Amino acid sequence: MAPKKDPKAPVKKAEPAAAPAPAAAAAPAPAPAAKTPAVDLSSVKIQFSADQLEDYKEAFGLFDRVGDNKVAYNQIADIMRALGQNPTNKDVTKLLGSPSAEEMANKRVTFEGFLPMLQTIVNSPNKAGFEDYVEGLRVFDKEGNGTVMGAELRIVLSTLGERLNEQEIDALMAGQEDENGCINYEAFVKHIMSV
């Protein structure tokens, strides 16, 4: 069935495509970095200010549920996001040297170990702005009228890229669709960026 085959084709391309995709707006410099299996964290120079370090340390502390001044591998991505970064899960997994699921849950890292990871992500130019988001959504604007079908967006978000589950999509789209099930995507992007 035609619709089922097509999603597979893009997914196969996702591996190399994901890396250049965030960097599409900027130079291809990050692309080689993403292709290397692990990042050499010891060579990363920390360039944060003293104030920033204090901020990050506080945030780091909030995630330490055990009290050993460390966080688990599987919390790293979330801490980075809480600090305003936008790594994909794949970015982070690569950074950690592609650990197993068990390692992700059990291995822990100190604040000092965390800093070069954060610096790497901060250094990689994957900052998407308002226009990038709008452009991205315009792909699905089949009538070119500034709206996308909520249903389509749901399917895309649950089948492409780093998939969201149904609950997450529901939360994301809560209250966004109008009575026809359409979303005005410029308004949508303004909304999501205002949080």
- List residues binding other proteins (CB under 8 A): 1-3, 6-7, 9-10, 13-14, 17-18, 21-22, 24, 50-51, 54-55, 58-59, 61-62, 64-69, 77-82, 84-89, 128, 132-133, 135-137, 139-140, 142, 149, 151-152, 155-157, 160-164, 168, 171-172, 174-175, 192, 194-195
Q: Are 15 and 164 in contact (CB under 8 A)?
A: no
Q: How far apart are CA 41 and CA 28, in angstroms?
A: 21
117 touches 60 (CB < 8 A): no
For residues 102 and 99, what is the distance between their CA atoms, to the nearest angstrom?
Answer: 8
What does the alpha-carbon distance between residue 83 and residue 185 come to, in Å, rounded to a whole number?
26
The secondary element (H helix, E strand) that includes residue 172 is helix 166-173
d(CA 177, CA 2): 27
